[in-house]
Amino acid sequence: MLHSDLQGTGDGASAPGVSIDLRGRRIADVGGRAGLITHLRALIERLNGRFIHHDGGIDDSARRLARILGQADAVLCPVDCVSHGACLLAKQLCKRTAKPFVPLRSAGLSSFVTGLHRIAAAGPEGTA
């Protein structure tokens, strides 16, 4: 099922048969589950993107969040596994800098792929 989502043939947000190509964009993930980070990084890299991560305030500071998001082209934020403050700050920073901000329903891989579909569909300059 995940493979079909990556190819655009599952429940993702893009049209059937269209695979995700991030076109070198830097995708920031704020929060999430620590055990998935290496898998998410590998996935982003396979999809022609660059992965940036901030843990949402566990060890990383809010000041570091602003620096990380300054480097990103788009931001994903799983709302079930991040501090409310970090997610709100990410949303505000994205709005201020006109970057796509995609809140994810959960920290799972399937939600992450759905978010990537939204980012890819928005194009390099669009909002998700």
59-118 pLDDT, tens digit each: 667 778 889 999 999 999 999 988 888 899 999 999 999 999 999 999 999 999 999 999
Question: Which domains occur in the chain, in start order?
Answer: 2-14+24-122 (3.40.50.2300)
CA torsion, ordered 20, 21, 26, 30, to nearest 10 deg: 0
SS3 30: strand
pTM: 0.81
- Angle CA(49)–CA(34)–CA(100) in degrees, nearest 5? 40
Q: Give the burial string for 20-31 (b: 16+ CB within 10 Å, else e).
A: bebeebbbbbbb
Ramachandran angles phi, psi of 99, nearest 5°: -105, 145
pLDDT of residue 60: 60
Q: Give the burial string for 110-123 (b: 16+ CB within 10 Å, else e).
A: bbbbbbbbbbbbee
pLDDT of residue 38: 93
